[in-house]
Homo-oligomer: A and B are copies of this chain.
Amino acid sequence: MAGKFYGVGVGPGDPELLTIKAKKILEQVPWIAIPVSGETKESLAWAIVADLLEGHGEILKIHLPMSYNSELLEKSWHEASEVIGGKLAAGTDVAFITLGDPTLYSTFIYLYQKLKNQGYPAEIVPGVPSFCAAAARAGISLAENQETLVIVPSVYHNEDLKEILNHFDNVVLMKAGSNFPLTRNFLEEEGLLDRAVLVSRCGLPDEMVEFDLTKIAEDQVGYLTTMIIKKNGVHKNGLFCWRWSR
């Protein structure tokens, strides 16, 4: 009988934010597939679970380049599906770990589709997304009552952001590090500088939560950076509150 392919979300950074189910599966499977973006790069997802899983399954490194070259990506996914498919065909389960949740901006879904198309049993185990953890650490809501929420990936233009903020209440900017200076300028121009919070390396020892964006130096914001913009947010008594609930 073929093994089962699991896509397991390991959450945003704090190992305690793994789900009970994720922990159980990772402790059981003989193979844990970890995505690495280059020969020398460490997997962040692996760093989260390394201590927890000491002595459990064997590691299967999956090389997935950070690229928008679809030919190169297709080749990588094909190779990865061959390697993982080999283990599944041999009857052993494989769990592929992803940062946060597997259904949000993870290349996992391509592997899932390929392997499912080949007839292997597969299951996605959801995880806590980074933006939920970022909001929790900042002590704010992402959306409440009848509000809308827009999740925007790393690549966006300030014109798009302006349009989004015209129509929606709350915006999460994923991987906000690379665009940070531009976004800050934009928020200043729009008079929204006090409606945002930046959370960097959420749940990790060097976490930063900063409501005053003018205090942030460019080199403080790396890959694991989330910005939350709340159009209806206001600061009051040192707390970030909402208009209708004051």
Query: A residues within 8 Å of B by Cβ?
Result: 7, 9, 11-12, 14-21, 23-24, 68, 70, 101-107, 109-110, 112-113, 116-117, 122-129, 132-133, 135-137, 139-155, 163, 167-168, 237, 239, 241, 244-245
Q: Which residue of B lies closest to A163 (CB)?
A: B167
Assuming the A-B contacts A127-B132, A132-B126, A136-B125, are A106 and B144 also in contact, with contact meaning beta carbons closer than 8 angstroms in the complex? Answer: yes
Q: Are B136 and A102 in contact (CB under 8 A)?
A: yes
Q: Are A150 and B168 in contact (CB under 8 A)?
A: yes
A78 to B126, CA, bound (A): 35
- Contacting residues, chain B, for A11 (C-beta < 8 A): 19
What distance in Å separates the Cβ of A175 from its nearest Cβ neighbour in chain B?
11
- Contacting residues, chain B, for A141 (C-beta < 8 A): 103-104, 106, 109
What distance in Å separates the Cβ of A161 from its nearest Cβ neighbour in chain B?
11
A117 to B238, CA, bound (A): 9
Q: Are A142 and B17 in contact (CB under 8 A)?
A: no
Q: Are A124 and B139 in contact (CB under 8 A)?
A: yes
- Contacting residues, chain B, for A239 (C-beta < 8 A): 113, 116-117
Contact of A143 among B68, B145, B151 (CB under 8 A): B151
A3 to B146, CA, bound (A): 32
- Contacting residues, chain B, for A109 (C-beta < 8 A): 140-141, 144
Chain A to chain B: the 3 pairs with minimum beta-carbon distance, closest first: A124-B136, A16-B21, A103-B135
A108 to B151, CA, bound (A): 22
- Contacting residues, chain B, for A155 (C-beta < 8 A): 146
Contact of A128 among B19, B68, B105 (CB under 8 A): B19
Q: Are A18 and B19 in contact (CB under 8 A)?
A: yes
Assuming the A-B contacts A16-B24, A18-B19, A19-B19, are A70 and B104 also in contact, with contact meaning beta carbons closer than 8 angstroms in the complex? Answer: no
- Contacting residues, chain B, for A151 (C-beta < 8 A): 143, 148-151
- Contacting residues, chain B, for A153 (C-beta < 8 A): 143, 145-148
- Contacting residues, chain B, for A244 (C-beta < 8 A): 70
15 contacts between A and B (CB under 8 A): A11-B19, A15-B20, A16-B24, A17-B126, A19-B19, A20-B20, A103-B135, A103-B141, A109-B144, A126-B135, A127-B132, A143-B153, A146-B154, A148-B152, A149-B150
